[in-house]
Amino acid sequence: MNNKQFLTELSGKCHLSPEQAAEQVQTLIGVMESVWNNGDSVSLSGFGVLEVKKKNERVSVNPVTGVRMLVPPKLVLTYKPSSLLKDKLK
Amino acid sequence: MNSKINLSQLADLFAQISGLSKTASEQFVKAFFDIISQGVLAEGLVKVKGLGTFKLLQMEDRESVNVNTGERFTIEGHQKISFTPDAELKERINKPFAVFETVEITAEQAEKIGDDIETGYSEEPQSDNSEISDYTSEQTDNEPKIKDITQKRSTRVLLKLITWVLSLILLIGLVMYILWPIIGCKLLTMFDDKIAEKAQVTTIVETKSSLTSSSVTPEQSQNIEKPLMETEPIVNKNPESVVKEQEPEPAVKDISDQVVQQQFNLNREDMAKSVSLFTEADTVNYRITGKLAVHTVQNGETLAKISFMYYGTKKLWPYIAKYNKMSSFNNMGAGSVINIPKLAAK
């Protein structure tokens, strides 16, 4: 399902035009971003948790050249599906 | 901070910005996530522009080991939902840490930093965004790290210096080892000279003492001493000339003749052998008359050794070198064949 299909389905469900739906999706993402920026996580029952995690700095070695690199720490958006959704997979 | 925003809270926030009613916004948010989860389950892939991609991954069976019991067991294949954030979103989220870049480091630094990471990891709680401030404090911690690195550098420089000096000494030793045959030969010739002189002196003294003991008057012995003293420096040159010089002193002629005769005989014997310790094997007093032998060089042999083998003295090696037209002695390896010249006194 690509973005277009996703938008058409969403617009059908919420009685919005696809353009409006696209706009709303972007605002929703913006809202979630501000939540993440506050250090909070978005937790939705039946879907899962979307949160920002800090990955520690680490030393990685290029196996071919043997060059050691210090990879800096970073913030990554992670998604953890809820157990409900996982059960549905089985 | 670190709180969980649930559906209704998110819908409230969304309603404030989008201008939709609370119920409508809640409905929208719910629909948004429902479609994603349904889409993933149904189609295995959902792309949302601005957020990222949700994907269904098929995990294969794999074998694992129970850490406690060491038993092997298989983890059965299953499906897993993965999420890859949109590149732009990823960048925006990582903005606080965007200034850091991946840098190359040396092994030593890596070890040290690795320790730091380990300790830091165990100390740090699992909480997330408080670590942003942690990291800024980590940055200030870098100063002592830098100091350590500079210290390490200075010790490394010292080590380099020591190894350099050691290698220099080794090099000198090697050079000495290579040049030893040449230097050694010179030393040996000097040594031989001294031995020869001593030997001559002792023989002369012996003969003198034998003469004095055998009923020779003190006057005679004194007279004997005189020619002896004269002969001493000359002996090495040519015995015949010594004999001639002796002639003008008839008083001690008999005895001195004896002495000189002894000396002469000695010299003659040595001459028969070509040269020996007693002759002053001056390297310019001989000429090459022909080939004496052909010699195959053995391992560890030097020209001096070969000279000693054929002439009984190490000093005559230059003749061999000359006869074989050797420019450098390095080309005389084991197994090479050289000609030994026949020498005759000039």
Report residue B310 as tokens: 């054929």
List the single residue in B with minimal CA-CA distance to A8: B35
Instruction: Specify whether A21 is located in the same domain as A50.
Output: no
pLDDT per residue over B275-308, tens digit each? 444 444 556 677 788 888 888 888 878 888 888 8
Which residues of chain A have a CB within 8 Å of the CB of B113?
57, 59, 70
Q: Measured between CB atoms, does B57 come within 8 Å of chain A? A: no
**In chain B, positions 90-149, which contact chain A (CB-CB < 8 Å)?**
90, 92-94, 96-97, 100-107, 109-110, 113-114, 117, 120-121, 128-132, 135
Q: What torsion do the CA atoms of B139, B140, B141, B147 make, to the nearest 10 degrees?
A: 110
Alpha helices in chain B (DSSP H): 7-18, 22-43, 87-93, 107-123, 130-213, 218-234, 239-246, 253-272, 303-311, 317-323
Judge if A56 and A23 occupy the same domain.
no
Question: Rg (Cα) of chain A, in Å, rounded?
Answer: 19
Same domain for A69 and A53? yes
Quote ipTM for the complex: 0.88
**Residue A46 and residue A34 in one domain:** no
Structural domains of chain A, count:
2
Mean pLDDT across chain B:
70
Task: Test A89 with B79 for CB contact under 8 angstroms.
Answer: yes
Q: Do A29 and B79 touch (CB under 8 A)?
A: no
Kindly identify which residue of chain B lies nearest to residue A37, measuring between CA atoms: B93
**For the ranges A68-77, B136-145, B206-215, which has the lowest average pLDDT?**
B136-145
pLDDT > 70? residue B59? yes
A81 and A71 co-located in one domain? yes
* Domains identified in chain B and CATH numbers: 7-95 (4.10.520.10), 111-151 (no CATH), 192-272 (no CATH), 286-345 (3.10.350.10)
Do residues A70 and A46 share a domain?
Answer: yes
Higher pLDDT, A87 or B226: A87
Mark whether A74 and A58 lie in a shared domain: yes
Predicted pLDDT at B170:
92
Q: What percent of chain A has pLDDT over 70?
A: 100
Rounded distance, CA B329 to CA B309, Å?
18
Same domain as A45, residue A22: no
Instruction: Calculate how close chain B gets to A38, using CA atoms only, in Å.
Output: 6
Is the same domain home to A34 and A48? Answer: no
Q: What are A52's strand-pairing partners? A: A77
Residues of chain B contacting A81 with CB distance shorter than 8 Å: 81
pLDDT the model gives residue B166? 92
For residue B135, CA distances in Å to B142, B162, B267 come to 11, 40, 97
**Residue A14: domain span:** 1-39
Contact call for residues B105 and A68 (beta carbons, < 8 A): yes
Predicted TM-score (pTM) of the model is 0.44
Pair A33, A4 in one domain: yes
Let me know whether A2 and A21 are in one domain: yes
Closest CA to B3 of B128, B133, B131, B122: B128
Residue B124, CB-side half-sphere exposure with 13 Å CA sphere:
22
Any idea what the CATH number is for the domain that residue A61 is in?
A: 4.10.520.10
- For residues A28 and A54, state if they share a domain: no
DSSP E strand stretches across A7-90:
41-44, 48-55, 58-61, 68-71, 74-81
Note the pLDDT tens digit of each residue in A14-42. Answer: 888 888 888 888 888 888 888 888 888 88
